[in-house]
């Protein structure tokens, strides 16, 4: 029972263009959503988060959009850089469930120069 | 450094042996979490400690797995009688839980456990 789904295993984007990573969830109790970036042999690095009371949060080149009615969120990276090449994980949690994160399976992003 | 520290970074052991994995959270973080990532999978929650409350052990896959957190800081995850399916990267995270506000979890680099 996958509560958080990242349906695209990989994405390839040209340097300078926009990268859009998508995530869907099924549990309406989730109230906090996060994106993590992971390089090989390293732990996930927190990128950006959004609370369910918002529909957009922006931090530099990274913007997260939340569509609660569709139970969908997306991460936009613009402009994409070769150093953005990594695995991106979407995660969700709820204070009701003690803040344990439920992760998607990840999307491999390759930014070509 | 100031981040979450895990040791060892790699551990290879024979099936049936016990292993202990250690996590040093970020100083001042009251919440500590253990996750694992099996090959080709997303991260799977194992256990969560928050202050002096009873830990949430709902993610532990079997009674061979246990964890403790001494003095509200360092945590040890123990796997007894290891099996080959225990092979994974074990990740520790910590966060500072605000009052009613969500806080991001910050991860260590993990322990890569290989059971022969």
What are the strands of the beta sheet with A19-25, ordered from one edge? A4-5, A19-25, A72-77, A62-67, A56-59
In this structure, what token pair is assigned to residue A106?
């990840």
Q: Which residues of B touch A106 (CB under 8 A)?
A: 42
Contact A4, A104 (CB under 8 A): yes
Closest partner CB to B104 (pick from A49, A95, A103)? A49
Q: Is A107 on the interface with B (CB under 8 A)?
A: no
Q: With an 8 Å Cβ cutoff, are B56 and A100 in contact?
A: yes
**Closest B-chain CA to A40:** B109
CB atoms B107 and A45 under 8 Å: yes
pLDDT the model gives residue B98: 57
Place of tokens 């969830």: A25
pLDDT of A35: 97
For B56, which of A42, A44, A98 is closest by C-beta distance?
A98
pLDDT band at residue B26 under the 50/70/90 scheme: very high
**Structure-block tokens of residue A79:** 């402009």
Give me the mean pLDDT over the A27-56 stretch.
Answer: 94
> Which are the contacts of B60, defined by CB distance < 8 A and separation ≥ 6?
B46, B47, B66, B67
Tens-digit pLDDT profile for residues B79-99: 999 999 999 999 999 998 754
Give the per-residue pLDDT at A1. 65
Residue of B nearest to A90 (CA): B42
Question: Chain B within 8 Å of A45 (Cβ-Cβ)?
Answer: yes
What would the mean pLDDT of A74-87 be, rounded to a whole number?
Answer: 98
Burial class of A83 by CB neighbour count within 10 A (0 to 12, 13 to 18, 19+)? exposed
Segment A64-77 shows an average pLDDT of 97
Q: Mean pLDDT of all residues in chain A?
A: 94
Provide the 3-class DSSP secondary structure of residue B72: helix
A91 CB neighbours in chain B (<8 A) are 43
Collect all residues of chain A within an 8 Å Cβ-Cβ radius of residue B48. 98-100
Q: Please determine, for residue B57, whether its predicted confidence score (pLDDT) is greater than 70.
A: yes
Residue A83, φ and ψ in degrees, nearest 5: -70, -10
How far is Cα B70 from Cα B28, in angstroms, rounded to an integer?
14
Residue A84: predicted pLDDT: 98
Q: What pLDDT is attached to residue B1?
A: 55
Chain A residues with beta carbon closer than 8 angstroms to that of B31: 99
Backbone φ and ψ of A96, nearest 5°: -60, -30
Work out the percent of chain A whose per-residue pLDDT is above 70: 98
Q: Judging by DSSP bridges, how do beta strands A107-112 and A10-14 pair with one another?
A: parallel
CB distance A100–B33 less than 8 Å?
Answer: yes
* CB contact (8 A) between residue B42 and residue A41: no
């Amino acid at each position: 029972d996958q509560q958080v789904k990242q349906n695209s295993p990989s994405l390839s984007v040209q340097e300078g263009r926009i990268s859009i990573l998508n995530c869907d969830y099924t549990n309406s109790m989730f109230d906090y959503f996060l994106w993590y970036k992971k390089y090989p042999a390293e732990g996930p690095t927190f990128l950006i988060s959004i609370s369910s009371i918002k529909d957009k949060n922006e931090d530099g080149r990274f913007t997260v959009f939340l569509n609660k009615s569709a139970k969908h969120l997306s991460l936009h990276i613009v402009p994409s850089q070769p150093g953005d090449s990594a695995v991106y994980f979407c995660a969700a949690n709820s204070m009701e469930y003690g803040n344990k994160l439920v992760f998607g399976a990840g999307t491999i992003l390759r930014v070509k120069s | 450094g100031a981040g979450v520290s895990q040791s060892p970074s790699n551990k290879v052991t024979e099936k049936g042996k016990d292993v202990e994995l250690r996590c040093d959270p970020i100083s001042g973080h009251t919440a500590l979490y253990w996750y694992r990532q099996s090959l080709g999978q997303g991260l799977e929650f194992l256990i969560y400690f928050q202050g002096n409350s009873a830990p949430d052990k709902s993610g532990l896959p079997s009674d061979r797995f246990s964890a403790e957190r001494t003095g509200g800081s360092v945590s040890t995850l123990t796997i007894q009688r290891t099996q080959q399916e225990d092979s994974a990267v074990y990740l520790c995270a910590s966060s500072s839980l605000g009052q009613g506000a969500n806080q991001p979890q910050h991860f260590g680099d993990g322990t890569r456990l290989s059971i022969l």
